[in-house]
């Protein structure tokens, strides 16, 4: 019994805890930072996260340049996908949130 308590648990994927739409992006908070990948398609910006599946979410952002961008967080077989699309080409960047080390901020802007 004691051995079962002390045995190391297998690594479980991180969990998505919270999603907040911001002025020109989205803030995602996790149980711990997951592995992530960025895919930049023509006119779209996509991030993939190795996390446990969570509920799908979506919204619309009003970008500082005056344009609109739609975002959609959806489940994949290997985690979650966060995608941004617009009528004009988009660029994106992401960074750790300075206020919480388990959160990231994804910022979207129109491509030049």
pLDDT per residue as tens digits for the range 18-60: 999 998 999 999 999 999 999 877 778 999 999 999 999 999 9
Domain total in the chain: 1
Which pair of structure tokens corresponds to residue 45? 């910006």
Segments forming the whole domain that contains residue 23 = 12-110
The answer to whether position 3 is within a domain reads no
Residue 6 in any domain: the answer is no
Give the pTM: 0.85
CB of 96 closer than 8 Å to CB of 104 = yes
Q: CATH number for the domain including 18?
A: 2.60.40
Q: What pLDDT score was predicted for residue 64?
A: 86
In a domain, 1, yes or no: no
Does residue 5 sit within a domain? no
């Amino acid at each position: 019994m004691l051995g079962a308590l002390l045995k190391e648990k297998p690594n479980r994927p991180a969990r998505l805890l919270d999603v907040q739409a911001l002025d020109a992006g989205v803030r995602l908070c996790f149980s711990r930072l997951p592995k992530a990948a960025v895919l930049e398609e023509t006119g779209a910006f996509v991030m993939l996260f190795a996390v446990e599946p969570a509920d799908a979410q979506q919204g619309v952002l009003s970008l500082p340049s005056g344009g609109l961008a739609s975002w959609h967080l959806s489940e994949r077989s290997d985690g979650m996908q966060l995608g941004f699309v617009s009528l004009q080409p988009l660029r994106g960047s992401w960074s750790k949130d300075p206020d919480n080390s388990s959160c990231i901020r994804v910022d979207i802007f129109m491509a030049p």
